[in-house]
Amino acid sequence: MSTLVKARGLSKSYGATRALDQVDFEIEEGRIVGLIGPNGAGKTTALKAILGLTDFEGELDVLGHDPRQARHELMRHVCFIADVAVLPRWLRVSNAIEYVEAVHPGFSRERAMHFLQRTKIKQRSKVGELSKGMVTQLHLALIMAIDAKLLVLDEPTLGLDILYRKEFYTSLLNDYFDAQRTIIVTTHQVEEIEKILTHLMFIDGGRVTLDRSMEQVAEDYCEVLVPQDRADAARGLKPLYEREVFGKKLFLFEGVSRDELGKLGEIHTPSVADIFVAKVRGDAK
């Protein structure tokens, strides 16, 4: 297994704001990494740095390249969809396919057609005539038809309806992902992707606050529903976060053994969203 992305002391400032502050991380082949963080936390900046779309300080190695120097070399093996709809309105669907086929050695027309057949998109249509969801579908079809080592998806399902969102992640997992591929995905709809992630990374205030595998996350984090009278005992174990649910207290713990917590009350596995809220709020305390 090889390391695709390696960041050491990655920093980036916009004026006085530090979007990334001495960040270290590594992304290995065959992972699906969920990059989660509040707006303005530095997610998009980190992705842009990986894609060679912005300058930065520190070290960053993507597939053996410095993305600032060799963006177009990198793009042979890295695909991305930015968080804003970016296909131009004048572009015809057939021309878009023709273009990517000509400029990208890893593109397969058959695969693109296979993905497009499931949609209502016509070859003759221009992007300007498609609905917002259809534009995203087209963009995804183009990108998923490329045999890339690293796929970066920044809010890929923004503007898609719920049916297609489900379908998209299923097809990403079944038709696209394999051991040789790596995916980095950000989204606000964490619950949609948490089942498909292999790794989780939180970014908050320009720093990586969590970076581990999903198994590790399931092991490390535990939620306990505790009756009010045992709440103080629970607080003694230093929970990350607490909130009230149906007259009981719900505590979220990091790194406390399940045996010990089992004595306090009913144990749950927290969702990524719960852990995220706990981390952000907990760190703010």
Q: In 3-state terms, what secondary structure has residue 34?
A: strand
**275 forms part of the interface with another protein (CB under 8 A):** no
**233 forms part of the interface with another protein (CB under 8 A):** no
Min separation Cβ 274 and another protein, Å: 33
197 vs 35: CA distance, rounded Å: 10
Q: Are 200 and 212 in contact (CB under 8 A)?
A: yes
**123 forms part of the interface with another protein (CB under 8 A):** no
Single residue of 91, 225, 237, 277 touching another protein by CB under 8 A? 91
Min separation Cβ 96 and another protein, Å: 9
Single residue of 92, 111, 207, 230 touching another protein by CB under 8 A? 92
Q: Which of residues 55-84 bind another protein (CB under 8 A)?
A: 55, 71-76, 79-82, 84
Single residue of 104, 149, 199, 279 touching another protein by CB under 8 A? 104
Quick one: 88 or 227, whose CB is closer to another protein?
88
**89 forms part of the interface with another protein (CB under 8 A):** yes
84 vs 104: CA distance, rounded Å: 22
45 vs 47: CA distance, rounded Å: 5
* Residues 48-53: contacts with CB under 8 Å, at least 24 apart: 49/7, 49/10, 49/12, 49/20, 50/5, 50/78, 50/152, 50/184, 51/78, 51/80, 51/152
Q: Are 53 and 88 in contact (CB under 8 A)?
A: no
**51 forms part of the interface with another protein (CB under 8 A):** yes
**159 forms part of the interface with another protein (CB under 8 A):** no
279 vs 284: CA distance, rounded Å: 8
Q: Which of residues 139-158 bind another protein (CB under 8 A)?
A: 139, 143
What residue ranges bind another protein (CB under 8 A)? 51, 53, 55, 71-76, 79-82, 84-92, 95, 98-100, 102-105, 139, 143
